[in-house]
Amino acid sequence: MASSASVSVLFLLVSSLMVAAHAGNFNQEFDITWGDGRGKMLNNGQLLTLSLDKASGSGFQSKNEYLFGKIDMQLKLVPGNSAGTVTAYYLSSKGSNWDEIDFEFLGNLSGDPYILHTNVFSQGKGNREQQFYLWFDPTADFHTYSILWNPQRIIFSVDGTPIREFKNSESIGVPFPKNQAMRIYSSLWNADDWATRGGLVKTDWSKAPFTASYRNFKADACVWSSGKSSCPSSSSSTTTSSWLSQQLDTTAQERLRWVQKNYMIYNYCTDAKRFPQGLPPECKAS
């Protein structure tokens, strides 16, 4: 008995050491940038939480800048009555001609669906919104939200299922984000003037503080530092990672169509009223 007890103690010790060695560490990868203590790194950097109350929201950003990558994060969104709250999770460069790849989660009354809002900016121009409901309750547990960004395409995925693809359409004159390094940002803030049912439902501050949680950050990415990429140049492509040229295979394309058919609630590419001069050129291409 004594020996089996010590064996399991040893096993516990070894397995906890292994977990520590493999999990992404928020302390090493991110800085809490605002919110005056409302953003927290917990459990030795295994967990990060942002909170929002009437006085302020909070936010964090990556220490690294990236130029292309496959970036996964698990999020668990504000539970209960989250109306009026927005949890933004995105990549962005700097300056007036910035590039940006956005996930934004728009809260709702208890039991009513969150909206997952996506957008892509290139050289300061966005207006490329697509919005979705999710096929699960994003507040009940952690789910993985991924951005694959390579020179040919941007793919947004949820738990490995692609929900949106933005292809490089430079050949028809549409700028594509590929020359500006981006940081990862996230923030939890109040936008009850527009977020929930277009601003009809306001935040119930008696439910504050509102909290969103993050874990298991993983980046297979090219880190950009002092004007150089950590990835080998394309000429030495034998060592280039597969995500740098990854595209959707037929199964993934079917999954994407399933999401777009059943869960997409807004697509700028079908909003003819909004673009009286004609839909943006990339809409015809994809």
Ligand X SMILES: *[C@@H]1O[C@H](CO)[C@@H](O)[C@H](O)[C@H]1NC(C)=O
Interface ranges with ligand X (CB under 6 A): 106, 108, 112-113, 115, 195-197
Please enumerate in sequence order all residues whose Cβ is within 8 A of that of 11, keeping only pairs 6 or more positions apart, or say none.
none
108 vs 122, beta carbon nearer ligand X: 108
74 vs 81, beta carbon nearer ligand X: 81
Is 165 one of the catalytic residues?
A: no
* Catalytic member of 65, 104, 165, 282: 104
Task: Supply the minimum distance, in Å, between the C-beta of residue 191 and ligand X.
Answer: 10
Distance separating alpha carbons of residues 221 and 218, to the nearest angstrom: 9
Task: Supply the minimum distance, in Å, between the C-beta of residue 56 and ligand X.
Answer: 22
Say what the alpha-carbon torsion angle 172, 97, 167, 259 is, to the nearest 10 degrees: -130
**230 residue type, one letter:** S
Please name every residue paired with 60 in a beta bridge, in sequence order, or none if there are none: 32, 186
113 vs 232, beta carbon nearer ligand X: 113
Contact 119, 147 (CB under 8 A): no
**Cβ count within 10 A of residue 251:** 8
Distance separating alpha carbons of residues 244 and 74, to the nearest angstrom: 22
Per-residue exposure over 110-135, b if at least 16 CB sit within 10 Å of its own CB, e if not: eeeebbbbbbbbbeeeeebbbbbebe
* Catalytic member of 65, 100, 165, 282: 100
Task: Supply the minimum distance, in Å, between the C-beta of residue 85 and ligand X.
Answer: 10
Is 100 one of the catalytic residues?
A: yes
70 vs 76, beta carbon nearer ligand X: 76
Task: Supply the minimum distance, in Å, between the C-beta of residue 88 and ligand X.
Answer: 14
Catalytic residues: 100, 104
